[in-house]
Amino acid sequence: MTKNFFRRIWGIAGAVSVRSKILGIVLGFIVLLGAGVTIQSRYALTATMTAQLEEQSVSVSRDVAARATDPILLNDLLGLHDLLDETLANNPNVRYAFIVDPQGQVIAQTFEGGFPLDLLTLNSVDPNEHHHTALIQTNEGLIWDAAVPILDGKIGTARIGLSDASMQSALSTLTAQLLLTALLVSATGVVVAVFLTWILTRPIFALVSATQSVAKGDFTPRVLRWADDEIGDLAEAFNAMIEELARTDELRREREVLRRQLLEKVITTQEDERRRIARELHDSTSQNLTSLIVGLRIMETNCAQCAAQSKATDMRQVASKTLDEVHDLSMRLRPRVLDDLGLAAALERLVSEWQARYKTPVDVAIQLNERLPGDVETAIYRIVQEALTNIVRHAQAHSASIMVERRGDIVRAIVEDDGVGFNSKTNHGERHLGLLGMRERAELLNGTLTIESAVERGTSIFIEIPIQSEKVEAAV
């Protein structure tokens, strides 16, 4: 329980910025220091002034006792009243003064509204004592009551009441001054702390800003070395790291350019070779097979009664099947309709043959008002072709749909199916060479290919390829 509590406290403190932490430490130290100094000063001053008040009350009482001896012996009550009034006038802290005889009767007193009789029992002094003091709580506060015997108590006792109001006033004044000083020191401390935190955290914030730029791929920022301390060493190390990352990124970019050029060359060469082989299959092999089929048909007709007629029929059927396979292979290698009529016709032909072969319905929607650049048409055709192949091999789909449209300078293509799908978040599909090839074809044209799929929810492939106006070919 305690461990979790400290973890929670540490989590809250850790979420505060460095500037707030430094300011909190400085303010906390100043507040603690001010509170400690104030409490200690009040304690010391209270002890000192309490001792002084007690001594003052005894001193005034002894003075009154010494000066009251003659008036008491002479029974001069007027002189006693004058003595007590003079004592109150000369000592502002004295609240009352009175004299009692040995029998406890009040001889003279300074109370205007009548003498409080219960005051007699609150303090007393033995004849053999030098003095006796008592602390009395009144409506005005604490009163130091001092009793001093007159002539060893033979003729009476002098009592003086000294108020601690002056002490409380002094304590309040001192406390206010200390609090004001603490406030001024706190304000100064805050200003100094803000300045120090600005000096300390500015290089850190510069490091954070540079780090964020590096994370975005910008390796140009450099952090200034503010001082020859640990933060300065960190700035130098950070700058060295950025330079090394910049060199590494430059090498990576060069390799990426070379890879793209090589991949583009490979794809271009592959398409050219497919086009050549498809042309040869169509122009040479197909014609030869057609001639063979025609010859076999003539021989079959002329040898109606010949025993080899059934053999010729079988050979003609084999040749016809071979011709169909050659035509199919030629279309797969490089459909001539793509070069002659464009992407829309080629996709419709591809889907028609695909549905006839695999009996899976495909909904096609193509919105293209003009021919696209040749490399764009080839890329989209190959991507859609590979997507249909994956649907047959892996998706176990009951239906699929293809949508191709152009909006401004962007060509978008979407291929969807309702098959078993896969978890796209685990990048399982990225390990298939077919999908990698599709993505690389799109990226070679500065396009993007996004795959969205979930188990038992089918798969959607989104392709976007930009078109540069100068590369647009006129419709054939």
Q: How much of the chain exceeds pLDDT 70, in percent?
A: 79
Count of CB atoms within 10 A of residue 242's CB? 20
Superfamily name and number for 343-476: Histidine kinase-like ATPase, C-terminal domain (3.30.565.10)
pLDDT at 346: 87
Task: State residue 461 phi and psi, 5-degree precision.
Answer: -120, 125
Q: How far is CA 209 from CA 70, 201, 203, 215, 237, in A?
A: 93, 12, 10, 10, 16
124 Cβ contact list (under 8 Å, min separation 6): 132, 147, 157
The residue among 284 and 371 whose pLDDT is bigger is 371
The pairing of beta strand 410-417 with beta strand 448-453: unpaired
User: Quick one: average pLDDT of 294-305?
Assistant: 66
Count of CB atoms within 10 A of residue 427's CB? 11
Radius of gyration of the chain, Cα coordinates, nearest whole angstrom? 55
The residue among 378 and 325 whose pLDDT is bigger is 378
411/371 Cα distance (integer angstroms)? 12
CA angle, 274 as apex, 270 and 279 as ends, to 5°?
Answer: 150
The pLDDT confidence band at residue 418, using thresholds 50, 70 and 90, is: very high
Instruction: Give tens-digit pLDDT for 241-264.
Output: 888 888 888 888 888 777 777 777
Tell me how far the alpha carbon of residue 464 is from its chain's centroid. Answer: 34
The tokens for 40 are 């200690």
The domain limits of the chain are 17-173, 343-476
Task: State residue 74 phi and psi, 5-degree precision.
Answer: -90, 0
Instruction: Evaluate whether 17-173 and 343-476 have a shared fold.
Output: no
CATH of domain 17-173: 3.30.450.20
Q: How far is CA 244 from CA 235, 240, 361, 448, in A?
A: 14, 6, 55, 30
The residue among 312 and 438 whose pLDDT is bigger is 438
User: Quick one: average pLDDT of 392-416?
Assistant: 91
pLDDT at 402: 94
293/290 Cα distance (integer angstroms)? 5
